[in-house]
């Protein structure tokens, strides 16, 4: 690994920022350099939300990116807007439950994930972002799955600790 430039986009409430935050936190736990730069509309839930994450084995001089190695898009407006940002040979993970088309490009690795069906199978549609996070981590190996589980322990504390088993199950794609 040298550097991964990542972009996560969707609607507020889809867990877009949490996915980016967890990757950045896991990278730091692994001793890598990481930046996390969130952006969201004033209406938050239901508005637009996106973030950039840069993970590197060298210091990161700027959190802004103009080209992504990995893009995660959770809705069609995000795909339409950010598909051109993925560099040739890069990855695009997309939510095929609500995005009714494939990426227009054939020079990227497109990974369709049926988040609605997989979340429904787990009995909770709120874990869709963890299903997607698992696909991204397993596909790209930007961080190790075990490190994401450590992040679960740090993020989900108190009453939220009860959510860890379900989130692990979603992440593992079970």
29-54 pLDDT, tens digit per residue, is: 999 999 999 987 665 556 678 999 99
Specify the CATH number for the domain of residue 119.
Answer: 3.40.920.10
Bridge-partner residues for 53, per DSSP?
Answer: 6, 36
Q: Rounded to the nearest 5°, which phi and psi values hold at 158?
A: 60, -135
Q: What is the spatial distance between Cα 101 and Cα 68, in angstroms, rounded to a whole number?
A: 20
Q: What is the spatial distance between Cα 34 and Cα 55, in angstroms, rounded to a whole number?
A: 4
How many structural domains compose the chain? 1
Greatest alpha-carbon span in the chain: 45
Q: Is the pTM of this model over 0.85?
A: yes
Q: For residue 88, what are the domain limits?
A: 3-172
Instruction: Tally helices (H) and strands (E) across the chain.
Output: 6, 6
51-106 pLDDT, tens digit per residue, is: 999 999 999 988 899 999 999 999 999 999 999 999 999 999 999 999 999 999 99
- In whole angstroms, how large is the CA radius of gyration of the chain? 15
112-141 pLDDT, tens digit per residue, is: 999 999 999 999 989 999 999 999 999 999
| Spatial contact of 10 and 78, defined as CB atoms under 8 Å apart | yes
């Amino acid at each position: 690994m040298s550097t991964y430039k990542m972009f996560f986009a969707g609607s507020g409430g889809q867990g877009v920022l949490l996915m980016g935050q967890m990757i950045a936190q896991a990278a730091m736990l692994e001793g890598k350099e990481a930046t996390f730069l969130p952006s969201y509309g004033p209406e938050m839930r239901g508005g637009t939300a996106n973030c950039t994450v840069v993970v590197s084995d060298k210091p990161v001089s700027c959190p802004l990116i103009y080209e992504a190695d990995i893009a995660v898009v959770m809705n069609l407006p995000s795909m339409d807007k950010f598909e051109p940002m993925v560099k040739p040979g890069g990855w695009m993970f997309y939510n095929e439950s609500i995005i009714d088309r494939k990426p227009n490009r054939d020079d990227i690795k497109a990974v369709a994930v049926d988040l609605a069906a997989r979340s429904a199978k787990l009995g909770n549609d709120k874990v869709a972002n963890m299903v997607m996070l698992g696909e991204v981590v397993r596909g790209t190996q930007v961080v190790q799955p075990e490190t994401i589980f450590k992040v679960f322990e740090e993020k989900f504390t108190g009453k939220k600790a009860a959510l860890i088993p379900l989130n692990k199950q979603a992440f593992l794609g079970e």
